[in-house]
Structure 1
Amino acid sequence: MSEQITAANKDKLVSDLKVVIADTEELLRATTGVAGEKVVELRERLGVRLRDAKERLVDLEHAVIDKTKAAARATDDFVHDEPWKAVGVAALVGLALGVLIGRR
């Protein structure tokens, strides 16, 4: 269960980072014509940090994809190795959902 929460958190983080990166790129484009030593320095720092954030985002996306594929492989292996247990678990989940829905 905690791995599902972690995966959901990672997905949210990836989504949030994409928004921040898009906003930062827009800010850099909007300040292209602005002169001044501090503005130039800030644009350079933002550019470096933006490149770093993009690299980390790609790494995080690959990590999430790898974990998802590993979980899918483990589930597939379990179903193939223990088909009757998988059927039993699915039946219990279905029964539990049926009881919950039937109460309403």
Structure 2
Amino acid sequence: MANRAPHTHETTQQLKEDLHHLTQTIEELVSATADDSRSNIKELRDRAEKRLKETRDRLESRGERFYGEARDSMEHQVDACDRYVHENPWTSIGIGAAVGVVVGMLIGRR
């Protein structure tokens, strides 16, 4: 897990930069619309569209990667839990019973 902290910080920093560039381009586009220079507006619009597409692609890629990492982690945890239950069935039954008693007590208090 310690390996993910630098990766997360790097990803967060890249996301901030992407959003900053996109915001800056959109602000330029908005301020350019105050001018009546059609070529300037078209150039800024093209840049804004390009940055928007790049940012969207990066966000989709990161989202897919995060989903994959979370899915792999969850599968690993489920496999570890399944192994534990198969290796220690009576302990697992005891833990389940204890949790059931606690939940029953909490529900009974209402």
Indicate the structure (1 or 2) with the bigger Cα radius of gyration. Answer: 2
Quote the offset at 1:101 in angstroms.
1.1
Alignment-derived partner of residue 63 in structure 1: 69
Q: Count the aligned residue pairs.
A: 71
TM-score (norm 1): 0.64
Quote the offset at 1:45 in angstroms.
0.8
Ranges in structure 1 where 5+ consecutive residues have no aligned partner: 1-34
Quote the offset at 1:83 in angstroms.
0.5
Q: What is the alpha-carbon distance in structure 1 between the residues aligned to residue 42 and residue 76 of structure 2?
A: 51
Query: In structure 2, the residue corresponding to 1:36 is in which secondary structure?
Result: helix
Alignment-derived partner of residue 93 in structure 1: 99
Higher relative contact order (CA 8 A, sep 6+): 1
Amino acid at match of 1:83: P
Quote the offset at 1:102 in angstroms.
1.2
Ranges in structure 2 where 5+ consecutive residues have no aligned partner: 1-40
Out of 45, 49, 52, which is 2:51 matched to? 45
Alignment-derived partner of residue 24 in structure 1: none
Query: Which stretches of structure 1, 4 residues or longer, exceed 6 Å deviation after superposition?
Result: none
Instruction: Give the percent of matched residue pairs that are identical in Structure 1 and Structure 2.
Output: 30
Q: What is the alpha-carbon distance in structure 1 between the residues aligned to residue 44 and residue 100 of structure 2?
A: 63
Q: For 1:1-104, what aligned pairs fall within 5 Å after superposition?
A: 36-104=42-110
Quote the offset at 1:93 in angstroms.
0.2
Query: In structure 1, the residue corresponding to 2:48 is in which secondary structure?
Result: helix
Quote the offset at 1:53 in angstroms.
1.1
| RMSD between superposed Cα atoms in Å | 1.5
